[in-house]
C-alpha cells in the first residue's frame, strides 16, 4: 500500500526515517550502490519529497502502528445490524485505523492490498484494517462484531494546547455510526444519515 510522506526524523544511528500518513515510519537511507537517495542528505531534497508516496510493507501486513491513538469503540453489531459501509468499505476514512473484533461466530475479512488479502476470524480474534483500505466483512451465519477506531498518528501539540492540558481525547462524534465514514471525508454512498 502506498503512503504519503508527512515528515522526516533521524534515528539513533543518524539515518533518516520518513514519517508516513498511516502512522508508520520507514528508513530512507542513502547507501550507494544499493540505496541511492542523495536527496535525503539535504533539507531541500527532503522538503521536496513531502507528500510523495512510499510503499508501506507494514500496512500490507495490516500492522497497527505502535503509537496509534485509541479514539473510540463502536457498539456490537450482528448479521442484521452490521452497517452496509462496514460490509463493503470503499477505502474512505483516511488517517483512521479500524480494528475489527469478533465476539461470537465466524467472520471473513477481505482487505485489498493486504497480505494475506483474506482472513477467517473466530470468537476473540481481532484484525486491523489500514486507513483508506478497501475491505469487505462477511458474517458467516450468526455472529457479533465491533470496531475500535485509532488515529494513525498523534496530532502535533502546539504550545498553547500543551499549556492548557491538551485536547479532548474522544473523536466519537466525528464517526458516522451508520456507515463508519469520518467527518471531513464524507458519508459513504447509500448512507441514510447523509440524507437526513
Do 74 and 143 share a domain, yes or no? yes
Out of 14-18, 134-138, 158-162, least confident range: 158-162
Do 48 and 132 share a domain, yes or no? no
| The pLDDT of residue 165 is above 60 | no
Confidence band (pLDDT; 50, 70, 90) for 94?
A: low
Note if the pTM is more than 0.85.
no
Task: Please give the residue range of the domain that contains residue 14.
Answer: 2-60
Nearest to 61 by CA among 144, 128, 140: 128
CB 145 within 8 A of CB 109: no
Do 85 and 45 share a domain, yes or no? no
* Most confident residue range from 8-22, 90-104, 152-166: 8-22
What pLDDT was estimated at residue 163?
Answer: 36
The fraction of the chain above a pLDDT of 70, given in percent, is 76
Cell representation of residue 58: 507494514
* Summary count for the chain: helices (H), strands (E): 5, 13
CB 64 within 8 A of CB 97: yes
Measuring CA to CA, how many Å separate 106 from each of 50, 96, 119?
A: 42, 25, 11
Amino acid at each position: 500500500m502506498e503512503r504519503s510522506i508527512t515528515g522526516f526524523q533521524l534515528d539513533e544511528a543518524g539515518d533518516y526515517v520518513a514519517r508516513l500518513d498511516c502512522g508508520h515510519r520507514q528508513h530512507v537511507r542513502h547507501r550507494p550502490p544499493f540505496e541511492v537517495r542523495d536527496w535525503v542528505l539535504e533539507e531541500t531534497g527532503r522538503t521536496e519529497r513531502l507528500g510523495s508516496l512510499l510503499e508501506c510493507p507494514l500496512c500490507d501486513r495490516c500492522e497497527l502502528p505502535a503509537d496509534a491513538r485509541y479514539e473510540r469503540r463502536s457498539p456490537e453489531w450482528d448479521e442484521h445490524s452490521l452497517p452496509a459501509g462496514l460490509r463493503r468499505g470503499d477505502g474512505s476514512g483516511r488517517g483512521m485505523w479500524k480494528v475489527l473484533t469478533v465476539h461470537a461466530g465466524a467472520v471473513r475479512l477481505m482487505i485489498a492490498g493486504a497480505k494475506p488479502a483474506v482472513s477467517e476470524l473466530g470468537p476473540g480474534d481481532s484484525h486491523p484494517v489500514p486507513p483508506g483500505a478497501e475491505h469487505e466483512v462477511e458474517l458467516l451465519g450468526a455472529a457479533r462484531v465491533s470496531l475500535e477506531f485509532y488515529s494513525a498518528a498523534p496530532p502535533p501539540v502546539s504550545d498553547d494546547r500543551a499549556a492548557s492540558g491538551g485536547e479532548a481525547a474522544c473523536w466519537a462524534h466525528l464517526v458516522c455510526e451508520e456507515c463508519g465514514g469520518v467527518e471531513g471525508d464524507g458519508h459513504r454512498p447509500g448512507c441514510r444519515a447523509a440524507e437526513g
